[in-house]
Amino acid sequence: MIIWYYHRILPDDGSAAVSTGVFEKQMGYLKKSGYEFIDTEGLKEFFQNPRQKKRKIVMLTFDDGWADNLIWATPILAKFAAKAVIAVNTGLVNENLKVVRNEKNYEIISSKSALELATKKTDFSSFLTWNELAEMKKSGIWDIQAHGNSHLGCYHSFDDIKGFYPENKHWLMEYALGESPFEGAPRAKFISTLCSPRSTLSDEFRDKLRNSRNNAKRLEICRNFENPIKILETEKEFEKRLRDDFSECKRKLRKNLNVETDSLFWTWGQFSDTSIKIALECGFKMLFSTEKSPATEKTDPHMIPRIPAPDKLAEFKLQNICFTNSLLLPIRKVL
Ligand SMILES: [Zn+2]
């Protein structure tokens, strides 16, 4: 079976979104093909009862907690009597706004700007409020689950440099550097701080980059520097931070929505042995990654794969066929 993941559903595509038109057609296609929509309870049954494997089932998941999930995805899901799972990052919930929004009183801003504003803790207007999440819970369409209480990342590797500040930047850069970005700060690969100890650039590496005059020099430094990363946490401190993060996420969902979560969707799908261990200690039973494979009755519930829903109907249909038919396994690699 396929567990699809989405982020945003918006009237027009782009900005890490699937458009409402395409989403509606995808739901129509699944319904017409005879799929039954399941939530995390249904998935648990699927893992427990092998006889169910003949059922034609699908699971839809939405990461982060975008306000558009209520405004645009909910009416379409209702139309097709579909269920979906929303993985809420409780650190992104819009705590200030009390109203429940609709398409008339919601201003669309790009995902990058929205995440940058939320990371700087100045504006969470693109994300759901507790009242809106309560409305979604009441609808019976949404199964509310966990996506952590922070959505941050730090520098991981410098193999794939995408450029340098200020020409190239990322909404996480300030957090990853631990200071305002400087001219020549690299835009490189980040890793979720929910799977790895917090790190930053080593002092020597930082100084070298600061003192370089051009990007060609900086690129050379990034390629050849031996120890570019400084780890800021001990293993014990890292474990404590994870425990605090997962417990806080669970506590907020319980307090604000009376929801008891047991499914955790890793931020950026990234996890490690330590993060799995702590998540299980905190009471999570199913852990979801973004490994692009179908889920089967043999799937490890601590490493459940998910497939990103493409923003085109034809691609969605093609992937649905290839990922649900084991004879087409070799083709999957190129999708
Ligand atoms: Zn996310």
pLDDT tens-digit series, residues 143-165: 999 999 999 999 999 989 999 99
Peptide bond into 75 cis (omega under 30): no
Token digits of residue 240: 């404590």
Residues 295, 219, single domain; the answer is no
Please indicate, yes or no, whether residues 84 and 117 belong to a single structural domain of this protein.
yes
Over range 288-317, report the average pLDDT: 95
Q: What is the distance between the alpha carbons of residues 324 and 309, in angstroms, rounded to a whole number?
A: 14
In this predicted structure, the answer to whether residue 15 has a pLDDT above a threshold of 70 is: no
Q: Is the same domain home to 292 and 308?
A: yes
Q: How far is the CA of 124 from the centre of ligand 1 (A)?
A: 14
* Higher per-residue pLDDT: 84 or 12: 84
Number of domains within the chain: 2
Are 146 and 210 within one domain? no
Task: Indicate if 183 and 285 belong to the same structural domain.
Answer: no
Q: Are residues 97 and 162 in the same domain?
A: no
Q: What CATH number does residue 288 fall under?
A: 3.20.20.370
Is residue 328's pLDDT more than 90?
Answer: no
Cα(267) to centroid of ligand 1, in Å?
5
Model confidence band, residue 325 (pLDDT cutoffs 50, 70, 90): confident
Question: Do residues 143 and 251 both lie within one domain?
Answer: yes
What is the C-alpha to C-alpha distance for residues 197 and 226, in angstroms, rounded to an integer? 19
Name residue, tokens 């969470």.
Answer: 124
* Region 33-53 average pLDDT: 89
Distance 6 CA to ligand 1 centre (A): 10
User: Average pLDDT, stretch 282-286?
Assistant: 97
**What range defines the domain where residue 258 resides?**
2-150+239-332
User: Do 128 and 266 reside in the same domain of the chain?
Assistant: yes
| Mean pLDDT over the full length of the chain | 94
Q: Are residues 120 and 44 in the same domain?
A: yes
pLDDT band at 331 (very low <50, low <70, confident <90, very high): confident
User: Tokens 């952590």 belong to which residue?
Assistant: 148
Whether residues 158 and 292 fall in one domain: no
Question: Residue 144 C-alpha to ligand 1 middle, in angstroms?
Answer: 14
Shared domain for 114 and 212, answered yes or no, is no
**Which residue carries 């929205």 as its tokens?**
114
Which residue type, as a one-letter code, is found at position 264? L
Task: Kindly give the distance from the C-alpha atom of residue 147 to the centroid of ligand 1, in angstroms, as a whole number.
Answer: 7
C-alpha–C-alpha distance, residues 126 and 205, integer Å = 36
- Residues around ligand 1, an ion, CB closer than 5 A: 63-64, 267
